[in-house]
Structure 1
């Protein structure tokens, strides 16, 4: 039976919907306050949280957004790393998941900033020193850029996660014995590259959210 090239992203299984299991896995892994003694993993996550707080503090001075950005980073990073395991599903490879992460954050920042700081947000639409003839064009460009922010966030995450997994799927179908000597090193290099992409995309997503919040006075 012939299957589609994108069938590897199908979350349906004969037992249950694997995408719900993948989305609930970070909620099971991350909480560690129920243990009597902290483990090495908890120390590692605490150091990561501390370093990310310092990194996010350079982007925004809103403490609430720093906490939200770190939480978003841990959620996306955990899902991306678990999706590298065999027979697992990648939730962030679907636009429905990535847009559900980006759109509420963008709407919350937009509604809050325009209702609380309306005049200052209008000032942001026109950079200082703009010549008078191109002022209407700059306002249209800035407005369009603000509107497409959730789309660019979600498409960036989805496209990067799909691309690497599709390459691994295509190389995995070449299971002839004479091709294994050539394919195995490429698969190992691609796996290392996909691991780096999973970490970088989670970092980029959370960093851009914190940068968007820095525009709020």
Structure 2
């Protein structure tokens, strides 16, 4: 049966039940839970150290009001990293290649930052729509442009994450198919392609980490503008 190259991004089902629920819930089981003991194992120690370092780096530019978001942003960062990394394993499904899921993350969080800004400091939040020193004839056009750029932010967040992961997965599948086809015909070319495939896999691991970090970092920047 012929299948499309994009079938890998379709949500898999078993007995008519979508397996995306398992793919979404599984990452939380990958992290060991902290214990009340004074001495913990190395995995939990490294995990807590990395989470603390990331949280400190993310919360440093924010005022005290934004520190309430520390737990939410750190949890989102770990969740996106785990989903992206699990999606690189064979015979797995990556939920973050679905634009609907990424928009489900991006839109509510962006809207929350906007509502906080309009509630706490509406003058400053509205002031972002008009840069200081703008000539009077350009004021209407700039207000329209800044308003469009404001409302396009959640779409940019979701599309950026989706596009980067989708492109990487497509390249991996293309190279893997090329290695499989070329191996009996041209072994030397197949080995060279396999080397490129290995390097691309390392690149995709880096992309999975970086895109999760960029997603959360941009959310923190949007929050910084509104607190």
TM-score over 0.5 (shorter chain): yes
Q: Deviations over 1:2-32 (max 9, x none)?
A: 1011011122144653322121112212351
Q: Secondary structure at the match of 2:225?
A: coil
- Comparing 203-212 with 33-42, greater Cα deviation is found at 33-42
Deviation of the 1:34 alpha carbon: 5.1
Distance of 2:174 and 2:76 partners within structure 1: 31
Preserved CA contact (<8 Å) 1:102 1:154: yes
- Comparing 157-166 with 34-43, greater Cα deviation is found at 34-43
Which residue is 1:38 aligned to? 40
Note closer, same or farther for the CA distance 1:21–1:34 as it changes in structure 2 (3 Å cut). Answer: farther
Question: Which of the numbers 97, 109, 114 marks the counterpart of 1:93?
Answer: 97
Which residue is 2:190 aligned to? 180
Distance of 1:39 and 1:135 partners within structure 2: 60
Runs of at least 5 residues in structure 1 that lack an aligned partner in the other structure: none
Distance of 1:115 and 1:55 partners within structure 2: 26
Distance of 2:47 and 2:169 partners within structure 1: 27
Runs of at least 5 residues in structure 2 that lack an aligned partner in the other structure: none
Preserved CA contact (<8 Å) 2:114 2:226: no
Preserved CA contact (<8 Å) 2:12 2:93: no
Distance of 2:133 and 2:69 partners within structure 1: 30
Distance of 2:192 and 2:18 partners within structure 1: 35
Distance of 2:70 and 2:221 partners within structure 1: 10
Distance of 2:10 and 2:35 partners within structure 1: 35
Alignment of 1:33-72 (within 5 A): 33=34, 38-61=40-63, 62-72=66-76
Relative to the length of structure 1, the TM-score reads 0.92
- Comparing 164-173 with 115-124, greater Cα deviation is found at 115-124
Q: Deviations over 1:83-118 (max 9, x none)?
A: 111111011000011000001101111222223322
Distance of 2:118 and 2:31 partners within structure 1: 34
Distance of 1:196 and 1:169 partners within structure 2: 17
Distance of 1:35 and 1:29 partners within structure 2: 19
Note closer, same or farther for the CA distance 1:187–1:56 as it changes in structure 2 (3 Å cut). Answer: same
Preserved CA contact (<8 Å) 1:8 1:169: no
Distance of 1:126 and 1:66 partners within structure 2: 30
Q: Deviations over 1:176-195 (max 9, x none)?
A: 32242122101101100100
Distance of 1:116 and 1:76 partners within structure 2: 30
